Amino acid sequence: MPEIRNYTLNFGPQHPSAHGVLRLVLEMDGEVIERADPHIGLLHRATEKLAESKPFNQSIGYMDRLDYVSMMCNEHGYVRAIEKLLGVEAPERAQYIRTMFDEITRILNHLMWLAAHGLDIGAMTVFLYCFREREDLLDCYEAVSGARMHATYYRPGGVYRDLPDRMPQYSGSSKWHSAKTIAKRNGPRQGSLLDFIEDFADRFPGHVDEYETLLTDNRIWKQRTVGIGVVSPERALQLGFTGPMLRGSGVEWDLRKKQPYAAYDKMDFDIPVGVNGDCYDRYLVRMEEMRQSNRIIKQCVQWLRENPGPVAIEDHKVMPPSRADMKDDMEALIHHFKLFTEGYCPPPGEVYAAVEAPKGEFGCYIVSDGANKPYRLKVRAPGFPHLAALDEMSQGHMLADVVAIIGTLDVVFGEIDR
């Protein structure tokens, strides 16, 4: 006789941590999970296929929309792959700017993860705290690119433009806030973007202390996360884990140290690792990563203050000329239009380039046939193998623990349903 299951439960697709695009089919024995089957495809973006239909430089903005919490890190992986194909390298100042914004993006990601994970398992206050800090960092995105999320700031050969000398100010005519409150909020905005980022970096460790005061030794938080979703180091490697999921299991692997890119070989920082490989260890790893990212940001700010210079290569077949040049030079204007309509034609070949994105290794494999668009683009998304392990991590746990495990995976479906 076939084995009789107790019942099958549809978990989602309305679950808040995946905003309606994750459907789990759970086979339950009472309230204990016997099997968890993730059904994906509810947010199919077709990014890889779309990228094969348009010039290389027109797909940078699509990368922002893959993991839409780690925008610039996705751009970095794609742009690095194009630079490998073209055989170009961004100037040193651009590399430091990329390093700084990669770490700003890592903090942005981990704040969103902590806010949502906390809310999922009953910690409301930390959600509000995290969004307070995210506002400042999204203002940094807006200052350099004009967009709060989908920046399209990294370009093959450098970045879109140098860091601005002044920050936008809050208006003094607001009916919602007093003049004193507005003056206080504008305090860190009196100088340049670097001044604003430095002020944030000075304040941020204190804010991380606040999050830890709320959660790290909180009895309920530990009951929901300690011993839940344990993955051994050997199994984590077999499952293809990267990023905090791998380091939470005690494997000290980080592309920023092991295969350095941008300016990471000049940075002084540590790689936090876990001991037990459970949800609590992965929480601790991400909390420490925020502190280490803050260290890197401070080093980048100091270097960028002392070293002015170009932020893009001079080759106008790859990077557009300046607007000032276009006003006086017809040839520069033609380069501009040709670049943004036809793009460029890298030599035939194949490349793979990866970055240590906040969720793990984000890589782009590109095959070029010498045309102005990729013959093939394959994205290596960190969230895909993590979600694939959900079944194994959930077996034997209670239904409520599935929510904690989904939270600790830190999945975003844009990169999974690509």
Question: What one-character-per-residue DSSP string does 333-395 give?
Answer: HHHHHHHHHT---PPSEEEEEEEEETTEEEEEEEEE-SSSS-SEEEEE-THHHHHHTHHHHHT
Residues 328-375 pLDDT 10s: 888 878 878 888 888 899 999 999 999 999 999 999 999 999 999 999
For the question of whether the overall pTM of this predicted structure is more than 0.85, the answer is yes
Residues 55-70 pLDDT 10s: 999 999 999 999 999 9
Residue 187 counted as domain residue: yes
Contacts of 414 (CB under 8 A, 6+ apart): 43, 45, 47, 65, 66, 67, 68
- Give the whole-angstrom CA distance, residue 418 versus residue 415: 5
Q: What is the mean pLDDT of the chain?
A: 92
Whether the per-residue pLDDT at 4 is higher than 60: the answer is: no
Residue 139 counted as domain residue: yes
Position 44 scores a pLDDT of 86
Provide the domain count of the chain: 1
Residues 284-317 pLDDT 10s: 999 999 999 999 999 999 999 999 999 999 888 8
CA 142, 292, 135: angle at the middle one, nearest 5? 25
Q: What is the CATH number of the domain that holds 295?
A: 1.10.645.10
Structural domain boundaries enclosing 184: 56-366+374-380
Residue 305 counted as domain residue: yes
Residue 394 counted as domain residue: no
Residue 6 counted as domain residue: no
